Structure 1
Amino acid sequence: MQIFLGGLVAGSHAGLLYNTWPTMDGALIPPHAELFAVTPWIENFVDNTTLVQLNHRLVAYLIVLAALAHAVDAWLSGAAGGVRGRAAGVAALAVAQMGLGIVTLLLAVPLWAGLAHQVLAMGVLMMATVHARLSLGARAPARAQGETPFGFEGLAGGRL
């Protein structure tokens, strides 16, 4: 979802507006009249550069908070070392991505920073995907030899 929102920011050039942080030109949240200036109101979510940028910022804050909370939980719950390390890695990448996004915004989106921000977004997604896959795989029940997930034993001789 955040990569999609970033695409809206890039495509609408919303990163060229409100080049301040943590506020948007002095306001934590711009006035309602600016956020919903387009009619019909639903189009603001894709066509209004103010709302597009605010949504990208808010979702970034939620992602970083969730990644940090997950890393702390993994550490405090005594999860296996690999889980703790991967959770910390996801959190570190999310914080780095947010920092790079802020720098990109403050510099008024130079090409190198915008591209680096997009590439690091893919790195965060890959790390989170690998972490989720390995963490879920560690909790999966042991299967009998030849048994496949979801009961597809009859397909391809028990192999998917």
Structure 2
Amino acid sequence: MQIGRMFRHLVTPSWVLGRVFTPAVMTAIEEAVKESETLHRGEIRFAVEAGLDLDELRRGTSARERAVEVFSRLRVWDTAENSGVLIYVQWLDRQVEIVADRGIAAQVPQAEWEQICRRMEAAFRDGRFGEGSAEAVRAVGQLLAVRFPARSDNPNELPDRPVLL
């Protein structure tokens, strides 16, 4: 257990996300999701979490493990074609994870998701939070458009608005 990491997570209030993920940034991400979903049958959710709670820190919960929990909590799996994708940002650790439902995971290699995550983390290091987030949404959309192109009946099954946890 890393004491510095634990301290950071426990003393940082969740409202700090609002400094970076401003209403304008949240709207830009939402618009990127809406635009992307016109090109494919997938459903993209975007979630940002400031810090983990004490139990998660004690267990040594990784960003990947937490992303899987958030995937379930936000019901990203609840789509007709098992086509949900979660872009999860663990803000304090500056880690990004993408979790794809089984219908998509069978079609898109994990390495392709990892490339998007690393590009987004690089954008964050450069201070390009809104741009990096929207670029990641568009990149996910491009992968989905190739493997799950839109049809004439393309329902929007999940909210497009990003969520701050």
Same fold (TM over 0.5): no
Greater fraction of residues in helix: 1
Structure with greater strand share of residues: 2
TM-score, normalisation: structure 1: 0.31
TM-score (norm 2): 0.30
Specify the structure having the higher radius of gyration (Cα). 1
Structure with the bigger RCO (C-alpha within 8 Å, sep 6+) is 2
